[in-house]
Structure 1
Amino acid sequence: MSESTPSTGASSLLRVAVGILAQDGKVFVTRRFPDSHQGGKWEFPGGKIEPGENTLSALKRELREELGIEVQDARAYMQVRHEYHDRHVLLDVWRISRYQGTPHGREGQEAKWLSCAELPQLDFPEADRPILRRLWLPPLYLISDSRRFGKDGFLAPLECALKAGARLVQLREPHMPPDEFEDYARLIAGLCHRHGAQLLLNAEPEWVSRCDADGAHLNGKRLAQYASRPLDDHFWIGASCHNAEELHQAERVGADFAVLSPVSPTSSHPGAAPLGWEAFSRMCADVNLPVYALGGMRVQDLARARQAGAQGLAMVSQIWGANSIEQAVTALSSN
C-alpha cells in the first residue's frame, strides 16, 4: 500500500483505497517494505488514490500493480480515518467479490492468506485496527438472560454456547442492582475469556475496565448522551438502535457495530411495531456500520438477514430456549 507523504504537508488528508480479498474463511494480506511508512507491518493491499481518480479505479490499478489481479466486482465495505504523528489518512475499504488471476506479491513483498483469528497476531498499522475488528465480528451476538434462569442457572447454558463457538456476548441485566451486576460481570467475563469470547457490558462505559470486560454496549439513552466514542479503540463499542436516526448516531460516536430491532414480532416487546426486512435493509445500506438483526430472530433467519445487509443475528430468548443450544450456536457460528 503506497502511502507517500502528501506534497501539501503532513496535515493533508491522504486518501487510500484498500481491498479485502476473502476466500474459504481466509483473508489475503501483504507486508510493507522496511523503508516505507509503517515499514515491516502487515496490511490489507491497496494504495493512494491519485488526484482526479475515483476509489474503485484506484483500487483496480493498485491491486493490478501489487497483486497481479484484475478486480471485476467490489462493494464499499467501510471507511476509516486515522491521524498518525506525521499524516492524516482516510482508508476507503472495499470488499472484493470477484477477480481474475492469482494474488501474489508482484512487487516482491511478502504475502499470504490468513484466517480472521490469525490476523490479530500480526503487527498491523493502527489505522487498520477497525478493519481487523470488523472482520473478526461473528455472525452471532448473544444477549444474556439470567432473569429467566437465575444467576447461577444461566451459567450452564452460557457455557454450552461458548463451547459450541459463541464469541461475542452482551451482559444485559437491567434488573440487577449495580453492586450485584458488577460482581456478576466479573464472573461472566472470566467464563467468556476462558473460551476465547469477548464480553460487552450493557452498562456505563467506565465499568468495563473494573469488570475486566472487553467493551460496552450502549442502550438508546446512553447512545444519545455521547458526541464521540466513550472508550478507546482497544475496547468494543456496540449500540442498540431502533431507527435510522439512532443508527447514524451510532456511526457518529464511532461504534464498532449496532443492533437494529425489532425486525420481526417478538414476545419480549409485544407492543413494538416490527421494522420488517425491507426497512431493515434500507437502514443498513444507509450507514457505514456492521448491523446485527434483533427481534424475533431464529437460527434459520441468518441467510435472510445477510441478504438484507446484516452482519448477523443478535439473539436472546430464541437461542437460550432452543432444545439444543449447542446445535443452534454451532449452526450460526460456522456460517
Structure 2
Amino acid sequence: MSESTPSTGASSPLHVAVGILTQGGKVFITRRFPDSHQGGKWEFPGGKIEPGEDTLSALKRELREELGIEVQDARAYMQVRHAYQDRDVLLDVWRISRYQGTPHGREGQEAKWFACVELPQLEFPEADQPILRRLWLPPLYLISDSRRFGKDGFLAPLERALKAGARLVQLREPHMPLDEFEEYARLIAGLCHRHGAHLLLNAEPESVSRCNADGVHLNGKRLTQYSSRPLDDHFWVAASCHSAEELRQAERLGADFAVLSPVAPTSSHPGAATLGWEAFSRLCATANLPVYALGGMRVQDLARAHQAGAQGLAMVSQIWGANSIERAVTALASS
C-alpha cells in the first residue's frame, strides 16, 4: 500500500483505497517492505487515491499495479480513520467480488492467502484492526440467559455451545448487581477464552478491563450517552439498535457491529411491534457497519438474514431452549 510524505496535524488524512479479496474462507494479503512506513507488517492491498481520482478507479489501478489483477466488480465495505503519530489515514475499504487474473506480489512483495482465523496471529498496522475484526465476525452472536438455568447451571450449556463452535458471546444479565455481574463476567470470560471465543459485556465500558472481557455491548440507553467510541480499537464495541437513527449513532461512535431488533415476534415480548424482514433489509442496506438480526430468530432464518444483508443472527431463547444446542450452534457456526 503506497503512502506519501507524513501529514501534519493541519492537513487532510491520507486517503487510501483498500481491497479485500476472499476465496474459500481465505483472504489475500501482502507484506510491507521493511524500509516502508509500518515496514514488515502484513496489510490488505491498496494504495493512495490520487487527486481527482475516485475511490473505485484508484482501487482498480492499485490492485492492477500491486497484484496484477483486473477488478471487475467491487462494493464499498467500510471506512476506517486512524491517527498514527506521524500521519492520519482514511482507509476506504472495498470487497472485491469479481476479478480477472491470479493475485501475486507483482512488485516483489510477499503475498499469500491466509485463513481468516489465522489473521489475528499476524502483525498488521493499527489502522487495519477494525477490518480484521469485521472479517472475523461469525454468523452467530450468542446472548446469555442465566435466569433460565441459574448462574452455575448456565455454565454447562454455554460450554456445550462453545465446544460446538460459538465464538462471540454477549453477557447480558440486567438483574444482577454490579459486583455480582463482574464476578460472573470474569468466570464467563475465562470459559470463553479457553475455547477461542470473545466475550462482550452488556454493562458500563469500565467493566470490560476489570473483567478481562473483549469488549462492550451498548444497550439503547448507553448508546445515546456517548459522542465517541467508549473503548479503544483493541476492544470490541457493539450496540443494540431499533431504528435508522440508532444505527447512525452506532456508526458515529465507530461501533464494530450492531444488533437490530425485533425482527419477528418473541416469547419474551408478545404483541410488541416488529420490523419484519422487509424493513430490516431496508435498514441493513443503509447501515455502514455489520448488523445481526435479533428477535424471534431460528436456526433456519440464517439464509433469509443473509439475503436481507445481515452478518448473521443474534440469539437467546431459541439457542438455549434447543433440544440439541450442539446441533443448532454447529449448523450456524459452519454456515
After the TM superposition, which residues 91-170 of structure 1 pair with which residues of structure 2 at under 5 Å, given as runs?
91-170=91-170
Q: Judge conservation of contact 1:10–1:86 (CA < 8 Å) in 2.
A: no
> Deviation string for 1:42-92 (max 9, x for gaps)?
100011111111111111111111101111111110000111122111100
CA distance in 2 between counterparts of 1:190 and 1:23 reads 33
Q: Which letter does structure 2 place at the counterpart of 1:277? A: W
> Deviation string for 1:181-204 (max 9, x for gaps)?
111111111111111111111111
Q: Does 1:22 align with 2:16?
A: no
3-state secondary structure, aligned to 1:223:
helix
Q: What residue in structure 2 maps to residue 32 of structure 1?
A: 32
> Deviation string for 1:283-310 (max 9, x for gaps)?
1121211110000111111111111111
Q: Does 1:173 align with 2:173?
A: yes
Give 1:12 deviation, angstroms. 2.6
Q: Judge conservation of contact 1:10–1:88 (CA < 8 Å) in 2.
A: no
After the TM superposition, which residues 187-206 of structure 1 pair with which residues of structure 2 at under 5 Å, given as runs?
187-206=187-206
Q: For residues 194 and 7 of structure 1, do their structure 2 counterparts lie closer, same or farther at Cα, with a shift above 3 Å needed?
A: closer
CA distance in 2 between counterparts of 1:48 and 1:92 reads 10
CA distance in 1 between counterparts of 2:73 and 2:285 reads 18
Q: Judge conservation of contact 2:138–2:333 (CA < 8 Å) in 1.
A: yes
Q: Judge conservation of contact 1:170–1:201 (CA < 8 Å) in 2.
A: yes
Q: What residue in structure 2 maps to residue 310 of structure 1?
A: 310
3-state secondary structure, aligned to 1:196:
coil
Q: Judge conservation of contact 2:13–2:90 (CA < 8 Å) in 1.
A: yes
Q: What residue in structure 2 maps to residue 186 of structure 1?
A: 186
| RMSD over equivalenced CA pairs, Å | 1.3
Q: What residue in structure 2 maps to residue 223 of structure 1?
A: 223
CA distance in 1 between counterparts of 2:9 and 2:301 reads 50
Q: Which letter does structure 1 place at the counterpart of 2:82? A: H
Give 1:7 deviation, angstroms. 8.2
After the TM superposition, which residues 66-81 of structure 1 pair with which residues of structure 2 at under 5 Å, given as runs?
66-81=66-81
Normalised by the length of structure 2, the TM-score is 0.97
Identical residues among aligned pairs (%) = 89
Give 1:269 deviation, angstroms. 1.7
CA distance in 2 between counterparts of 1:107 and 1:178 reads 55
CA distance in 2 between counterparts of 1:74 and 1:10 reads 32
Normalised by the length of structure 1, the TM-score is 0.97
Q: After superposing the two structures, state which structure 1 stretch, 6-15 or 316-325, moved more.
A: 6-15
Q: Judge conservation of contact 2:7–2:88 (CA < 8 Å) in 1.
A: no
How many residues align? The count is: 335
Q: What residue in structure 2 maps to residue 84 of structure 1?
A: 84
CA distance in 1 between counterparts of 2:110 and 2:307 reads 35
Q: What residue in structure 2 maps to residue 3 of structure 1?
A: 3
Q: What residue in structure 1 maps to residue 262 of structure 2?
A: 262
CA distance in 1 between counterparts of 2:195 and 2:120 reads 17
Q: Which letter does structure 2 place at the counterpart of 1:138? A: P
3-state secondary structure, aligned to 1:207:
helix
CA distance in 1 between counterparts of 2:232 and 2:285 reads 26
Q: Does 1:327 align with 2:327?
A: yes
Q: For residues 117 and 284 of structure 1, do their structure 2 counterparts lie closer, same or farther at Cα, with a shift above 3 Å needed?
A: same
Q: After superposing the two structures, state which structure 1 stretch, 274-283 or 137-146, moved more.
A: 274-283
Q: For residues 153 and 30 of structure 1, do their structure 2 counterparts lie closer, same or farther at Cα, with a shift above 3 Å needed?
A: same
Q: Judge conservation of contact 1:292–1:312 (CA < 8 Å) in 2.
A: yes
> Deviation string for 1:7-33 (max 9, x for gaps)?
898833211110000000000000011
CA distance in 2 between counterparts of 1:90 and 1:191 reads 37
Structure 1's unaligned 5+ residue stretches are none
CA distance in 2 between counterparts of 1:125 and 1:107 reads 20
Q: Which letter does structure 2 place at the counterpart of 1:139? A: P
Q: Which letter does structure 1 place at the counterpart of 2:192? A: C
3-state secondary structure, aligned to 1:91:
strand
Q: Which letter does structure 2 place at the counterpart of 1:196? A: G
Q: Judge conservation of contact 1:4–1:37 (CA < 8 Å) in 2.
A: no
Q: For residues 8 and 147 of structure 1, do their structure 2 counterparts lie closer, same or farther at Cα, with a shift above 3 Å needed?
A: closer
CA distance in 2 between counterparts of 1:324 and 1:9 reads 56
Q: Which letter does structure 1 place at the counterpart of 2:43? A: E
CA distance in 1 between counterparts of 2:8 and 2:254 reads 28
CA distance in 2 between counterparts of 1:145 and 1:244 reads 27
> Deviation string for 1:157-192 (max 9, x for gaps)?
100000001000000011112222111111111111
Q: Judge conservation of contact 2:169–2:198 (CA < 8 Å) in 1.
A: yes
Give 1:272 deviation, angstroms. 2.2
Give 1:277 deviation, angstroms. 1.4
CA distance in 1 between counterparts of 2:8 and 2:80 reads 21
Q: Judge conservation of contact 2:8–2:86 (CA < 8 Å) in 1.
A: no
Structure 2's unaligned 5+ residue stretches are none
